[in-house]
Amino acid sequence: MAKIIVISGEERQEYELAAFNSIGRHPDNTIQILDRIISKEHAHIQRGADGKFLLRDLRSLNGTFIRGERVGDHYLQDGDEVMMGSTRIVFVDKPMGNDALGRVTIAPGLTESHIRQRIQADTGFTQERQITDDKILRRDYERLRIGHELALAVATELDLDKLLPKILEKAFELVGADRGVILLMDERGEMVPRFVKTRTGKSDPNIVLSKTVMAEVTNSKAAVLSSDATMDARFSGAHSIIMQGIRSTMTVPLLHRDELLGIMHLDSLFASNAFTEKDLQICTGMAVQAAVSIQNARLASRIEKEAQTRAQISRLIPPSVVEQVVKGELTIEKGGRQSEITMLFSDIRGFTTMSDGRPPQEVVNTLNEYFEVMVDILFQYSGTLDKFVGDEIIGLFGAPIAIDDGPFKAVACALSMLQGLAEFNRTRASENLPPINIGIGINTGNVITGAIGSTRALQYTAIGDAMNVASRLVNIAGSGEVIISEHTYRYVAARVEATALPPVKVKGKAEELKVFRVTGLRRVSAIQEWTGPTNA
């Protein structure tokens, strides 16, 4: 599993990489690094279709460096050290963090199992009043002791890469195994080696597991014990065992509520009869506790990934919609669907002139700070960020999910954006920076919304004539103006102060459009109960 190790001063943190990762000083990044030299959004790390990770510097002010050279786009390799500001980042892409995994194979064996006997370990406890043999009492006590020790060792560990070594380490303390392997079920239902341990600490040139044994354990969910694999008739067809000269094997299922999470395999290369049925009972009991810990680690990983997904999605849609997307309650189909929504276009006036002669990085930083303020306001009014087009913001009200009173929320959002911009400009003035001025256009109408694009790249957006009208209205709006269409005005007429403007001719329309300039919201006491659009 690919990850990065972030080293800042004496602090060291590890992050498992998802398909898309953003790195920067701002808390909305997938990976936040509190280094004042790092930009708010400094770089991206993205996994391609070939599984390689591309590091992309986002034209950060202080740059991203590998081996002392500033980089833009760079395909990361295991061990690459990246410098961002005063922070060192190490990229790690070793298979499961355990080199020996590449030497673990599962021998095909025979298509028909040669295991004639199944050893089902008893994981239950006999009731106290039914115990008549002190051997049973000693056995149950031993299982409880081992379970308690394992729980102490792994209870707080939620990182699988750290948990699995602890499980095998405890197993080696309990039984005389020479080698151990933990395999976990992947998404395709296949057993994949996740950690290997040897008593000597040296990697064997090759560790071959018997498909015959694994099939028995997987199908019956029962543990299999062989006193002497080279002589045991049950494994007469399992050539992988015989060829390695393994004297004893013990393969135990990792079960959680009857769900097979994986398998723990232990073997002895030298001692005949190395494992007994007591060892099997001990390890089976331990496997139950291990399975609980593995399941907890998986749940923790899932929660972390959901949090990362939320952070990424929350950049586009309001928090109320994020939960539905993460839980799978909201699906966005390719091709889209038709619905009536309200579209808001906001554009900076004179941005080209304002940017002329300024360093590109300064222009980008200005836009990022401006967008941050505007998008926060957009989300406050249940709007969805469609996209940024240069210095233009496009917001949707009513997609991807319908909202109540979308046209009014869009107008209220626009007025709030102007107020937020005034505060933003006061901050800029204190830093001797020129003000930013915007115009806003709003229209309501039927459009197609959904995931639109190719099989390689999809983008959620809205397409239709009503969208084009909204883009024309923002061009009409002057600095500090909110211009709305007649259709939008019908929904909000009773609740906003607006002035009718002379009809305007816009590109793509044969007839002139009636438009209105919004100057504010009416007092609450003056707003009558709204029942729908008026015929104004």
Contact (Cβ atoms closer than 8 angstroms) between residue 462 and residue 396: yes
**Domain identity same for 137 and 160:** yes
CATH code for position 487? 3.30.70.1230
Last residue of a domain, one of 93, 110, 139: 93
Distance CA 304, CA 25 (A): 19
Per-residue model confidence as pLDDT tens digits over 362-403: 888 889 899 989 988 998 998 988 888 889 999 999 988 889
Strand 224-226 to strand 259-268: parallel, antiparallel, or no bridges (unpaired)? Answer: unpaired
234 and 216 co-located in one domain: yes
CATH number at residue 164: 3.30.450.40
Q: Is the pTM of this model over 0.75?
A: no
Residue 216 domain boundaries? 98-301
Residues 126 and 61 grouped into a single domain: no
Q: What are phi and psi of 308, to 5 degrees?
A: -65, -40
* Residue 112 and residue 22 share a domain: no
314 domain residue, yes or no = no
**In angstroms, rounded to a whole number, what is the distance separating the alpha carbons of residues 391 and 352?**
9
* CATH code at position 43: 2.60.200.20
> Are 88 and 107 part of one and the same domain?
no
Please tell me whether residues 267 and 347 are part of one structural domain.
no
Q: Identify whether residues 107 and 243 lie together within a single domain.
A: yes
Residues 109 and 80 in one domain: no
Is 43 in the same domain as 124? no
Give a yes or no: residue 403 inside a domain. yes
Residues 282, 272: Cα–Cα separation, whole Å: 19
pLDDT higher at 23 or 220: 23
State the total domains in the chain.
Answer: 3
- Compute the distance between CA of residue 535 and CA of residue 532 in angstroms, rounded to an integer: 10
Identify which of 449, 445, 456, 466 has the alpha carbon closest to the alpha carbon of residue 335. Answer: 449
Q: Which of 491, 531, 526 is nearest to 406 (CA)?
A: 491
536 belongs to a structural domain: no
Q: Which of 266, 301, 336 is the last residue of a domain?
A: 301
306 falls within a domain: no
Nearest to 80 by CA among 160, 10, 3: 3
User: Which of 231, 266, 301 lies at the terminal end of a domain, its last residue?
Assistant: 301
The answer on 493 and 361 residing in a single domain is yes
Residue closest to 438 by CA, chosen among 383, 371, 487: 371
Name the one residue in this structure whose structure tokens are 């102490």.
152
One domain, residues 413 and 355: yes
State the DSSP string of 59-84: --SS-EEETTEE-SEEE--TT-EEEE
Confidence of residue 454 (pLDDT cuts 50, 70, 90): low
Same domain, 378 and 246: no
Residue 233: pLDDT band (50, 70, 90) is very low
Q: What are the E-state strand segments in 275-351?
A: 337-348
Asked if 266 contacts 287 with a C-beta cutoff of 8 angstroms, the reply is: no
Q: Check residue 35 and give its pLDDT.
A: 84
State the residue for tokens 């009173």: 405
Condensed to tens digits (0 to 9), the pLDDT of residues 269-298 reads 765 566 777 777 778 878 888 888 899 888
